[in-house]
Amino acid sequence: MMLLTLLILSSVGLAAAADPSLFSENDYSPDNIVNRDVLIVGGGAAGTHAAVRLKDLGKSFTLVEKSSVLGGHTHTYIDPTTGTPVEFGVHSFGNTSDTRDFFARFEIPLVDFVPARFPVHYIDFNTGDAVAVALDTNVTGYLDQVEKYPSLAYGWLTSFPVPSDLLLSFGDFVNKYSLQKIVYTIYYLGVGIGNILQQLTITVMNSVGVGILSGLQGVPGGAVVPAAGNNHAIFDKALAELRADILLNSHVVAASRPANNSGVKVVVQTPNSRKLVLAKRIIVAVLTQPENMNVFSPDEREARLFSQLKGQAFYVGLVTNTGLPVNQSYYNAASSEPDNVPLLPKTYNIQSTVLPGVFWWLYGSETALTEAAVKTAVTSQIATVRRALNVPAPAGSPQFLAFGNHTPTHVTVPAEAIASGFYRDLYGLQGYRNTWYTGAQFIDSASGIWNLTNAVVLPGLLTGL
């Protein structure tokens, strides 16, 4: 029986409990013991917003972020010559009250997002064939289906039974509702979603929802950006204001989270020392996959959920010296695949930016790759596009100005798990063992995450705090 139990716990990724001696206050100097109301893990869009809200609510916190900056997937490159900002991560934010309030908090005015328009070449990035893609922007049929499920705008469905259409593969859903003409359009809008026809319909709708579709149809106000450009400015301002309570280049080593309300103890490794954080609550603002959560010693209930989440690899960046004609964009379209949607691994597109000769690229794979491997693949497909256009190679190799790793992205679970109540159970972890959760495993947009934090996480967390 003991062996069977160990096998079951191993299969769900249950981590061993941390050594209790790690949490002994006697082993830390006074300046390495931190007492706070809340510990926030992760400084992306979710964690940064939670930290600002807690400060404004008069609660103390410490935020732990593994990188050297806040902002997560929001990347802005500043041209060293002109000072022009170029986005190569998050390009816009949903125009919601949560978004407007967050930017107003830092006195950053917003304007409607208007994407840059450049002539597009549709090319098979593997063969070099030109592909005649009929990009149909009449998405009314798809929009009619999305609007049946308004709660998707706020995250994954938790109601039962889960509508069967949402658990169809998107390919079967397209066939059921005769939406073949708009498949490439949805694929184009849901960049990073991978092999879209094989994804669940609920996954596609979470990525390409009403806001994005409204923008495609020319409805103003669906998405917004800072009036001065630079999407990362809000995170720079947040860091400047909250710096004393943020531990950058740091990570959680171990955590003690009792089931009662006695608070938590978390060991954090910083560049200069190991700290013991004593907090009443934790906000986990990173993806709850085992590689992130094992340091929190999840119990069986938690581990069974965390172990099911799977995503795919996704990378973004800026490149110059490509030899490609400027002020034009190049989209990968498979000449031999249904609806011209290329399969992973692939460069999704190579798009012109506001800086002539600087292109924004996106690359996806089913498995994680090294930065060098991604750059090699993108360089190869740039060469294929050049040959397709019959333009000469430049002197030297392409120069990569910026690189971002968004792996894993579009994290979700199989249809059977959703039908069995996975997301009901994931939401059910809110507050369990003094821990609250926010982030992309609940909804795949910054504005949606901020709504989740404001409407669900903070009200629960603040009760009794």
Res 247: pLDDT: 98
Checking if the pLDDT of 158 tops 80, the result is no
Res 115: pLDDT: 83
Res 211: pLDDT: 74
Contact 399, 321 (CB under 8 A): yes
pTM, two decimal places = 0.93
How long, in residues, is the chain?
Answer: 465
Contact 84, 435 (CB under 8 A): no
**Regarding predicted confidence, which is higher, 154 or 278?**
278
| 356 torsion bin: left (phi>0), alpha (psi -120 to 50), beta (else) | beta
Q: For residue 216, what pLDDT band results from cuts at 50, 70 and 90? A: low
Q: For residue 10, what pLDDT band results from cuts at 50, 70 and 90? A: very low
Cα within 13 Å of Cα(334), Cβ side: 18
Average pLDDT over residues 19-45: 96
Checking if the pLDDT of 11 tops 70, the result is no
Res 444: pLDDT: 85
Burial of residue 131, with CB atoms counted within 10 A of its CB: 0-12 exposed, 13-18 middle, 19 or more buried:
buried
d(CA 248, CA 421): 36
Checking if the pLDDT of 4 tops 50, the result is no
Q: Of all residues in the chain, what percent carry a pLDDT higher than 90?
A: 82
Contact 42, 286 (CB under 8 A): yes
Res 219: pLDDT: 61
3-state secondary structure of 254: strand
Checking if the pLDDT of 258 tops 80, the result is yes
Res 344: pLDDT: 94
Domain ranges for the chain = 21-74+232-308+414-462, 76-226+311-410
Which residue type occupies 234? I
**Regarding predicted confidence, which is higher, 76 or 156?**
76
DSSP string, 127-176: T--B---------HHHHHHHTT-GGGGGSS---SSPPGGGGSBHHHHHHH
Helix (H) or strand (E) holding 224, with range, is: strand 223-226
Please provide the average confidence, as pLDDT, over all residues in the chain.
92
76-226+311-410: which CATH topology? Polyamine Oxidase; Chain A, domain 2 (3.90.660)
Average pLDDT over residues 93-99: 94
Domain 21-74+232-308+414-462 has CATH 3.40.50.720: no
Which tokens in the block code for residue 292?
């992130």
**DSSP letter at 96?**
S
Res 215: pLDDT: 64
Burial of residue 462, with CB atoms counted within 10 A of its CB: 0-12 exposed, 13-18 middle, 19 or more buried:
middle
pLDDT in tens, 105-132: 999 999 999 888 899 999 999 999 999 9
